[in-house]
């Protein structure tokens, strides 16, 4: 099986690539936008001849078409997206361009390619769009939303992903393209960008600078290890019904403040030379961003019943492994920080970007 993964250098995309290769996929193609991303994608593992990296911006329709025609995939797993909620508030046009237009470019190219395939290959081809729980909007403390629930996105980011979901649905309804959609809760793990909530708290704690948390930290999210998220994606790819939509939920809900406190505890246990102890002394509560949803919640029944899938890792075990990864890979996250512009994470806190540090010195 030949699989093209867009966004294959990111946290989720790289986890999907790793898992595909481990499962013996005959050919995995990681699609990345820039040369730097291409290098990073190639470093996620020593994959050998079954792994390839291609450069194309999903907003470039001709480049997307050439990539699909050249690699002739049996499936496209579309992970690439602009994801930083706060950035979507300041630059919504960028999010519409990447998440909506970019998805449409992929759909157009995939449809044209799929229509020319021999009948047997047409039946097995899949276009898989990886989406988010944020499309459903906020839910009450006792509520879980099932697939097919109305979309109520609050942010430009969530609206752009909801729009992309609807485009994917329409390509199935109008053209018959065999599509799949999954809406996932918050993934975390190695190689997640430092501006995201959990990496930011780890890095700031290592640097001894403020841990800024929106509101009083009462916002809650379900958290899933990125490896479990990748396993869920491949379960949908293997057993999902064309035209189907599936919720990837962990059932491990945490308040943002509790996540930060657990990170602080792990840092104190794992890192002897922290610049500030106790790390919790760095927590600062800051005003909420506009339209910040208090809670998301997805019903898991369809994945568990129809596809016999559930996450394997505990939140606390995966979080400890994630902290260790960022402790051991300081050069990686230091290279992501300066001089890039300020950005804000999706789930819990505004950006407080740490300074660059010398090699292996106090960060």
Distance CA 216, CA 234 (A): 37
The mean pLDDT of 114-129, rounded to a whole number, is 97
Predicted confidence (pLDDT) at residue 33 exceeds the cutoff of 80: no
Band of pLDDT at residue 109, cut at 50, 70 and 90: very high
Contacts of 299 (CB under 8 A, 6+ apart): 144, 145, 146, 147, 247, 249
DSSP-assigned states of every residue in 36-104: HHHHHHHTS----TTEEEEE--TT-HHHHHHHHHHH--SEEEE------HHHHHH-HHHHIIIIIIHHH
Predicted confidence (pLDDT) at residue 360 exceeds the cutoff of 60: no
pTM for the whole thing?
A: 0.90
The pLDDT > 70 percentage for the chain reads 88
Using N-to-C axis directions, what is the helix angle for 61-71 and 102-115, rounded to 10°? 40
The mean pLDDT of 46-60, rounded to a whole number, is 78
Predicted confidence (pLDDT) at residue 113 exceeds the cutoff of 70: yes
Domain formed by 2-189+224-248, architecture: 3-Layer(aba) Sandwich (3.40)
What is the per-residue pLDDT for 47?
53
Q: What is the pLDDT of residues 277-305, one digit of tens each?
A: 999 999 999 999 998 999 999 999 999 99
**In this structure, are residues 326 and 202 in contact, taking their beta carbons and an 8 Å threshold?**
yes
Distance CA 130, CA 142 (A): 26
Predicted confidence (pLDDT) at residue 214 exceeds the cutoff of 80: yes
Chain-centre distance for alpha carbon 2? 22
Domain boundaries, the chain: 2-189+224-248
**In this structure, are residues 40 and 6 in contact, taking their beta carbons and an 8 Å threshold?**
no
Q: What is the pLDDT of residues 146-204, one digit of tens each?
A: 999 999 999 999 999 999 999 999 999 999 999 999 999 999 999 999 999 999 999 99
Give alpha helix (H) positions in the chain: 11-22, 35-42, 61-71, 85-90, 92-95, 102-115, 119-124, 156-175, 197-207, 226-239, 256-270, 301-306, 315-328, 330-337
The mean pLDDT of 332-356, rounded to a whole number, is 53
Predicted confidence (pLDDT) at residue 24 exceeds the cutoff of 60: yes
**In this structure, are residues 323 and 202 in contact, taking their beta carbons and an 8 Å threshold?**
yes
What is the per-residue pLDDT for 228?
98
Residues paired with residue 184 on neighbouring β-strands, in sequence order: 132, 248
What is the per-residue pLDDT for 338?
60
Q: What is the pLDDT of residues 216-275, one digit of tens each?
A: 999 999 999 999 999 999 999 999 999 999 999 999 999 999 999 999 999 999 999 999
SS3 240: coil
Contacts of 362 (CB under 8 A, 6+ apart): 208, 273, 275
Q: What is the mean pLDDT of the chain?
A: 90
Neighbours of 58 (CB within 10 A): 25
- Start-to-end CA span in the chain (Å): 43
Give catalytic residue positions.
Answer: 133-134, 157
Distance CA 219, CA 291 (A): 12
Query: What is the sign, positive or negative, of the torsion defined by CA atoms of 362, 283, 333, 51?
Result: positive
Q: What is the pLDDT of residues 70-104, one digit of tens each?
A: 999 999 999 999 999 999 999 999 999 999 999 99
What is the per-residue pLDDT for 48?
57
DSSP-assigned states of every residue in 136-166: G----TT--BPTTPPP---SHHHHHHHHHHH
Distance CA 93, CA 151 (A): 20
The pLDDT > 90 percentage for the chain reads 81
């Amino acid at each position: 099986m030949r699989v093209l993964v867009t966004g294959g250098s990111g946290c989720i995309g790289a986890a999907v690539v790793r898992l595909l290769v481990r499962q013996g996929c005959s050919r995995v193609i990681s699609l990345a936008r820039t040369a730097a991303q291409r290098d990073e994608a190639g470093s996620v593992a020593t994959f050998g001849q079954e792994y390839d990296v291609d450069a194309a911006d999903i907003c470039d329709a001709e480049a997307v078409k050439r990539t699909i025609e050249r690699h002739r995939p049996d499936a496209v797993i579309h992970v690439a997206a602009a994801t930083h909620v706060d950035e979507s508030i300041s630059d919504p046009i960028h999010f519409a361009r990447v998440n909506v237009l970019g998805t449409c470019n992929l759909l157009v190219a995939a449809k044209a390619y799929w229509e020319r395939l021999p009948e047997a290959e047409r039946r097995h081809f899949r276009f898989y769009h990886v989406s988010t729980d944020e499309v459903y909007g906020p839910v009450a403390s006792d509520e879980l939303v099932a697939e097919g629930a109305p979309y109520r996105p609050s942010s430009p980011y969530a609206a752009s992903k909801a729009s992309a979901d609807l485009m994917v649905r329409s390509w199935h309804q109008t053209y018959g393209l065999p599509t799949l959609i999954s809406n996932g809760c918050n993934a975390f793990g190695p190689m997640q960008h430092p501006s995201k909530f959990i990496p930011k708290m780890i890095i700031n704690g290592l640097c001894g600078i403020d841990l800024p948390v929106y509101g009083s930290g009462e916002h809650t999210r379900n958290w899933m290890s990125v490896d479990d998220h990748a396993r869920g994606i491949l379960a949908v790819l293997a057993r999902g019904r064309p035209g189907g939509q599936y919720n990837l939920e962990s059932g491990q809900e945490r308040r943002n403040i509790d996540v930060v406190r657990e990170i602080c505890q792990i840092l104190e246990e794992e890192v002897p030379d922290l610049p500030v102890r106790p790390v919790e002394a760095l927590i600062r509560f800051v005003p909420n961003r506009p339209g910040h949803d208090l809670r998301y919640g997805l019903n898991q029944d369809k994945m568990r019943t129809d596809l016999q899938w559930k996450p394997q890792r505990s939140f606390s075990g995966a979080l400890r492994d994630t902290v260790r990864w960022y402790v051991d890979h300081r050069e990686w996250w230091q290279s992501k920080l300066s001089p890039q512009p300020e950005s804000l994470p999706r789930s819990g806190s505004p950006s407080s970007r740490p300074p660059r540090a010398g090699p292996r010195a106090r960060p």
